[in-house]
Amino acid sequence: MASGEALTTSAYISHHLTNLKVGHGFWTVHLDTLLVSGILGLIVFLGMAILASKATSGVPAGWQNLVEMVLSFVDQQVKDTYHGKSALVTPLAITIFIWVFAMNAMDLIPVDFLPLGLGAAGVHYFKAVPTTDPNLTFGMSLTVFVIMIAMNFKVKGANGFMHEVFTVPFGAKLAPVNLLFRVIEDIAKPISLSLRLFGNMYAGEMVFILIALLGVWQLPLALPWALFHILIITLQAFVFMMLTIVYMSMASESHG
Amino acid sequence: MDINATLIGQAIWFGVFIWITMKADRQKLIADGLAAGERGKHELELAGKRSADAMREAKEKAAEVISGADKRGAQLIEEAKLAAKVEADKVVAAAKAEIDQEVERARAALRERVAELAVAGAERILKREVDAKAHAEMLAALKQEL
């Protein structure tokens, strides 16, 4: 268990689920979430940028091969679903898939490793998986929401967008109902996006913590759960990406 | 689960990463374009090489055909010459044989006449007997006739 102090089970769990915080009130910042997600993102995306700048034609090897495989997979998904012209959607989908995958993968580090190491260095709280922080998932989904609204305006124009908001699905006579439906529909999008990711990862992390509580018995349990979790990690990254592509495609296709 | 300023930070991170990916994506596109261009150039080069090869091959083949035709022509001329010679020889031989035959026939006829003349001369000699002058005359006539 985490430290030499006598810890109760609930204290152990809540210790693992507490962020490293700085500040007060709204201006609190979860340093662990920000740092881990930022460092992971910088590593993977700057690595990708470097690979892209050095990309050689012909048969790719090593990392370039892996990156090209992932990129062409995402690119294919975008091509299949999104038929608009925006050059933003593919990079957006790639960013989401790779970043969420990398952050989710932090889940596979055994739950006590980082708290033990950082505890020795004087940091007492550290939540290593950024996607178990709703701040992160909402940060992403709200950004997606803003891009979606912007794309609505850009593709359909202010008039076209307003026309769609007030007349779909029941026609102009029921404009208030249409507006209400549209508002609920659009607000549900970022909430479902972020809560789905957060819920899955939080629950997964919780199971890891509960398994870690079993002492010696965690050994036969942690590995199967980790293997199963690899599936969830990839699936959640894929779902977040796929839904974003779908929202973008809905935003750039006219219904009326 | 408390929502706070971390959210803003995460949104900023997200934006930064999208931006990096967009740049990398564009670079990738450019790299792909360059690669395609390079491939095109390479293919053009290859095609040039192939066409030069084809040209050379065609030239070689044409030269071969021409030399073959020359050889065949010479052969035909040679054959024709040979055939003509054989034919001429044959004609000449036939003519010679005919001439020989003619000569032989003439000779045979002459021989026959010689015998006749001899018999006639003998008759006349026997008729005139010792008429030397007439004898000589007769002989001369005989000579003339030969």
Spatial CB neighbours of A17, under 8 Å, sequence gap ≥ 6: A127, A132, A205, A206, A209
Q: Please give the Cα distance from B10 to B2 (Å, whole number).
A: 14
Q: Report if residue B110 sits inside a domain.
A: yes
Task: Decide if A87 touches B, using CB distance below 8 A.
Answer: yes
pLDDT digits (tens, 9 = 90+) for A166-214: 988 888 888 999 999 999 999 999 999 999 999 999 999 999 988 988 8
pLDDT digits (tens, 9 = 90+) for A30-81: 988 999 999 999 999 998 888 877 766 666 677 888 888 888 899 899 999 9
- Which sequence spans correspond to the domains of chain A? 9-252
Q: Which of A2-16, A98-112, A189-203 has the lowest mean pLDDT?
A: A2-16
CB contact under 8 A, A95 and B21: yes
* pLDDT surpasses 60 at A256: no
* Cβ count near B77 (within 10 Å): 10
E strand or H helix that includes residue A200: helix A175-212
The complex's ipTM?
0.86
Please classify residue B78 by burial: count the beta carbons closer than 10 Å to its beta carbon, then call 0-12 exposed, 13-18 middle and 19+ buried. exposed
Q: Please give the Cα distance from A245 to A104 (Å, whole number).
A: 20
Task: Decide if B10 touches A, using CB distance below 8 A.
Answer: yes
Range of the domain at B97: 40-145
The closest CB to that of B5, out of A28, A41, A71, belongs to A28
Q: Report if residue B16 sits inside a domain.
A: no
Residues of B in contact with A23 (CB under 8 A): 4-5
Helices and strands: H and E segment counts in chain B: 2, 0
Pairing of strands A21-22, A29-30: antiparallel
- Please state, in angstroms and as integers, the Cα–Cα distance from residue B16 to each residue in A42, A121, B33, B88, following that order: 9, 30, 26, 106
pLDDT digits (tens, 9 = 90+) for A131-173: 999 999 999 999 999 999 999 999 989 998 999 899 888 888 8
Query: What's the confidence (pLDDT) of residue A117?
Result: 84
Q: Report if residue B35 sits inside a domain.
A: no
**pTM greater than 0.80 (yes/no):** no
Task: Decide if B144 touches A, using CB distance below 8 A.
Answer: no
Indicate the pLDDT class of residue B65, thresholds 50, 70 and 90.
very high
Structure-block tokens of residue A200? 């899955």
Nearest partner of A252 among A183, A157, A170, A173, judged by Cα: A157
CB contact under 8 A, A71 and B28: yes
Indicate the pLDDT class of residue A3, thresholds 50, 70 and 90.
very low
How many distinct structural domains can be found in chain B? 1
- Ranges of beta strands (E only) in chain A are 21-22, 29-30
- Please state, in angstroms and as integers, the Cα–Cα distance from residue B17 to each residue in A116, A135, B42, following that order: 30, 17, 36
Structure-block tokens of residue A231? 């599936």
Indicate the pLDDT class of residue A2, thresholds 50, 70 and 90.
very low
